[in-house]
């Protein structure tokens, strides 16, 4: 941590003076880049007029969380908030879980040792939910296996656990969400336009609404598609390694096809039917925009594979015993009530709560959704600090 850099700025939020420090640091398995940037970067928000003893850390597999919408709101309530990025920010196609967790550990260590934080609160938001759960789980003892062809870095044994865990509008896990969103009607992974009409959710013959029989066939085919890609990755690794190569890239198309997008009777909520995070689901499904679009073979096995990935939520949530809060918005078009219920059930915490709230995924609607969540989190923590 000796080469950590810190730069400060200030601004006003709801009448409170907030300081914001830019934090940049190397990682045990990724030094500072020759061009000058550090692999781990983030912004630390905190109140300017008082000491901070409790702070949040939030990160994502791919999305930049340095300016997370809750950061200034929690700082205005007396907390620190580190919006943290690993080396894989904007670089999802090369993600490897073991190295992401080490980068998260840099952030947690900075909070505890440099910022003098007594209580660290893990915030697992959106897709980052299972990533942060994996961090907390592995900080309590390494149980994950290495990505095929790699070894687990020793630095994983040095992770420091947090004192609280919060799940906010979070997916169950990376393999789970891509499988739930998969279009199983694709017949050729190399051809994004290939379609089996009998499995096409956008074929009006099939629905909506969708019959129980169709839903069962559809879900089975989604799982089969995940396993098929995993099988291909293993065989392709074997093939190219015999040729003296280590890895290769490939694309995964059609990942906006969750039946819940068009059928509100499945996992009912206050969401808008016929919308996804990218707008019209069918248009998004046939566009080159979606989770998991580009991967290396090892990234698929590390992040997305139902069989091989350690990014599944259940195995990590079952190791989290700290006080836990699960929050889910009722109009979310990509995370559903059953996801929140499953996360709650899988958490091993004896002190755990689930709160359903009004709002969309990013809490942009209604206008007071974000302040409401900040108050909810503040009140929950105050009862336990």
What pLDDT, in 10s, does the model give residues 252-271? 999 999 999 999 999 999 99
Instruction: Calculate mean pLDDT across residues 245-258.
Output: 98
Give the per-residue pLDDT at 2: 47
CA distance 295 to 285: 18
Q: Is the pLDDT confidence value at 383 over 90?
A: yes
Q: Is the pLDDT confidence value at 48 over 70?
A: yes
Task: Report the Cα 351 to chain-centroid distance in Å.
Answer: 23
Fold of domain 5-173+311-382: Rossmann fold (3.40.50)
Closest C-alpha among 102, 94, 96 to residue 84? 102
Instruction: Calculate mean pLDDT across residues 124-144.
Output: 97
pLDDT averaged over every residue in the chain: 96
At residue 177 the predicted structure's pLDDT band, cuts being 50, 70 and 90, is: very high
Instruction: Calculate mean pLDDT across residues 75-95.
Output: 97
- Which neighbouring-strand residues pair with 119? 54
At residue 16 the predicted structure's pLDDT band, cuts being 50, 70 and 90, is: confident
The answer to whether 17 and 30 are in contact (CB under 8 A) is no
DSSP helix/strand/coil, 225: helix
At residue 4 the predicted structure's pLDDT band, cuts being 50, 70 and 90, is: confident
Instruction: Calculate mean pLDDT across residues 143-172.
Output: 97
| Domain ranges for the chain | 5-173+311-382, 177-304
Q: What angle do CA 241, 253, 247 make, to 5 degrees?
A: 15
DSSP helix/strand/coil, 270: coil
CA distance 275 to 267: 15
CA distance 83 to 74: 12
């Amino acid at each position: 941590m000796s080469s950590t850099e810190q730069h400060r700025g200030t601004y006003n939020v709801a009448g409170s003076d907030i300081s914001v420090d830019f934090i940049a640091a190397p990682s045990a398995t990724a030094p500072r880049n020759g061009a000058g940037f550090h692999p781990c970067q983030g912004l630390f928000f905190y109140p300017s007029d008082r000491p901070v003893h409790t702070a949040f850390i939030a990160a994502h597999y791919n999305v930049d969380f340095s300016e997370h919408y809750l950061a200034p709101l929690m700082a205005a309530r007396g907390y620190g908030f580190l919006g943290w990025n690993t080396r894989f920010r904007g670089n999802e196609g090369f993600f490897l879980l073991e190295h992401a967790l080490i980068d998260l550990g840099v952030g947690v260590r900075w909070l505890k040792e440099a910022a003098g934080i007594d209580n660290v609160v893990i915030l697992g938001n959106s897709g980052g939910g299972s990533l942060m759960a994996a961090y907390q789980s592995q900080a309590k003892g390494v149980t994950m296996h290495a990505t095929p062809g790699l070894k687990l870095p020793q630095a994983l044994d040095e992770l420091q656990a947090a004192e609280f865990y919060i799940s906010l509008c979070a997916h169950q896990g990376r393999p789970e969400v891509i499988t739930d969103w998969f279009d199983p009607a694709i017949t050729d992974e190399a051809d994004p336009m290939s379609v089996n009409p009998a499995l096409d959710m956008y074929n009006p013959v099939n629905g909506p609404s969708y019959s129980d029989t169709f839903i069962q066939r559809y879900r089975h085919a989604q799982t089969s598609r995940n396993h098929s890609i995993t099988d291909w990755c293993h065989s392709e690794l074997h093939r190219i390694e015999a040729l003296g190569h280590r890895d290769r890239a490939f694309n995964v198309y059609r990942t906006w096809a969750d039946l819940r997008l068009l059928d509100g009777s499945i996992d009912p909520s206050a969401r808008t039917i016929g919308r996804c995070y990218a707008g019209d689901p069918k248009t998004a499904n046939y566009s080159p925009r979606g989770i998991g679009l580009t991967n290396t073979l090892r990234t698929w096995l590390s992040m997305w594979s139902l069989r091989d990935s350690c990014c599944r939520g259940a195995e990590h949530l079952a190791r989290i015993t700290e006080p836990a809060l699960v929050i889910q918005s009722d109009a979310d078009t990509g995370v559903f009530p059953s996801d929140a219920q499953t996360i709650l059930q899988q958490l091993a915490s004896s002190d755990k709560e689930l709160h359903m709230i009004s709002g969309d995924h990013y809490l942009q609607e209604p206008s007071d959704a974000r302040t409401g969540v900040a108050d909810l989190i503040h009140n929950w923590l105050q009862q336990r600090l």
